[in-house]
Amino acid sequence: MYKEEIQNLIDKLPVEVNTEIQLNNRPPTMANSEFLTNKEQGDWAEKIVLHAINENLKEYIAVEYGRSDSIAAGDDGFAEFYLEYQEELNRIGKKPDLLIFKKSDFPREKIDLNDESIIQKAVAALEIRSSSFLVEQYNKFMGKRQEEAIAECLRLKTIIMEEPYYSLLERKNKTIFQMLKNSTVDTFRDIDFRLPSWSVTEQLRELKELLKELKSNIKILHKRDYLSITPKVEDIALVNRWIQTYNVKHYYLQVFFDKAYLISFKNILELISNDEEEETNFSIERDVKNQQKTTIKVNVKVGKEILGKIDMPNHTSAMKELTRGRLLFYVTFNGGKGYLDQEIFMKDLIHG
């Protein structure tokens, strides 16, 4: 059974996941412009996926399921709403944004999402994430940056591996010498060394500066160079709680402004259980932008390009007046269109 597979994978994860977690956080008292813009972008991404599925498929229908309330911190009634939502998370887990149903299962009856037996008929659940990047432009930029860093590493290696620096480095630090001597285009990213503090002679100072420049370029190669799908470790527990309640296959779908990628929750768990994939296809970090929560960053290229093209939305400025008179300005998104890859939808989502 699906829910048992998921629980077994979570039990074997190298990171600790508290599947019994009970949230007891205080409601935030004030929203900000970034939060409102991110929420608008998330709502837009959800609509892009919803329409891409419902306008292209005859046998399946996507239905909005997760919370989509427009209330925000600072609004009247927000504290009550927040505590009610937290209680829901503690009880059934995190609701996915969309549920996918077979139309043939509902020839006449309405899809009543308040009926648990109806929810259990869903063939898939989608957690929609949004990201403010253009995938193709990002990949082009990062590819160029990596190429330039490798070229610079080669140039610096050539200089250092010639006299007078060759003999000087061999004498002063055999570890760095051997590391650099044996390095290739493919292994520069694996090099790391502590920069020496040589300063006695002019040649030593010059060598130190060359090594400093080399280290700077190697550091570029060390940086994560992929866009990611970003479930928090806390989310794993809450998503699992929902899965254990309803036993519906769960997927993450990351929407960028030009493409969208799909990966199953099961595949994420399998991926992060394999330490050979770390750094290449995932990393585990404390995310500054996410309240320092431990976040898993999965390379989107591990997923499937389910929306191969997205038309850019219109974007306009909006204003929200809080009860105490503070004004928040943010961005809203309208329009745009996602182009669904029906083969990937069927193969990787329905039959995945």
What does the DSSP assignment read for 231-299? Answer: -BHHHHHHHHHHHHHH---EEEEEE-SS-EEEEEHHHHHHHHT-GGGBTTTEEEEEEGGGTTEEEEEEE
User: Roughly how many angstroms between the first and final C-alpha of the chain, as a whole number?
Assistant: 14
45/192 same-domain check:
no
Which residues make beta-bridge pairs with 127?
A: 252
6/121 same-domain check:
yes
Tokens of 298: 């999965």
Q: Is 114 or 160 the better-scoring residue by pLDDT?
A: 160
Amino acid at 212: K
Q: How many domains does the chain have?
A: 2
Nearest-angstrom CA–CA distance, 49 and 38: 17
107/255 same-domain check:
yes
Nearest-angstrom CA–CA distance, 89 and 241: 8
37/64 same-domain check:
yes
47/115 same-domain check:
yes
pTM score: 0.90
Question: What residue numbers bound the domain in which 285 lies?
Answer: 2-133+227-350
Per-residue pLDDT tens digits for 264-305: 999 999 999 999 998 889 998 876 555 557 889 999 999 999
Give the domain-ending residue among 200, 222, 244: 222
What is the reported pLDDT for 289? 59
What is the reported pLDDT for 290? 54
Nearest-angstrom CA–CA distance, 291 and 25: 13
CA–CA–CA angle 312, 265, 287 (5° rounding): 70
109/233 same-domain check:
yes
Alpha helices for the chain (secondary structure H): 2-11, 33-54, 78-92, 116-119, 135-160, 165-172, 174-181, 202-222, 233-246, 265-272, 342-344
116/182 same-domain check:
no
DSSP code of 324? T
Which residues make beta-bridge pairs with 260?
A: 255, 307
Give the domain-ending residue among 164, 188, 222: 222
13/62 same-domain check:
yes
Q: What are phi and psi of 321, to 5 degrees?
A: -100, 120
What is the reported pLDDT for 131? 95
**Residues 229 and 287 sit within 8 Å (Cβ to Cβ):** no
Asked if the model's pLDDT at residue 2 lies above 90, the reply is yes
**Residues 117 and 239 sit within 8 Å (Cβ to Cβ):** no
State what percent of residues in the chain have pLDDT above 70.
98
Q: For 50-75, what is the mean pLDDT? A: 90
Least confident of 31-35, 70-74, 220-224: 70-74
165/81 same-domain check:
no
242/340 same-domain check:
yes
**Residue bearing tokens 């000087």:** 168
285/319 same-domain check:
yes
Measured over the CA atoms of residue 102, residue 105, residue 108 and residue 109, the dihedral's sign is negative
50/154 same-domain check:
no
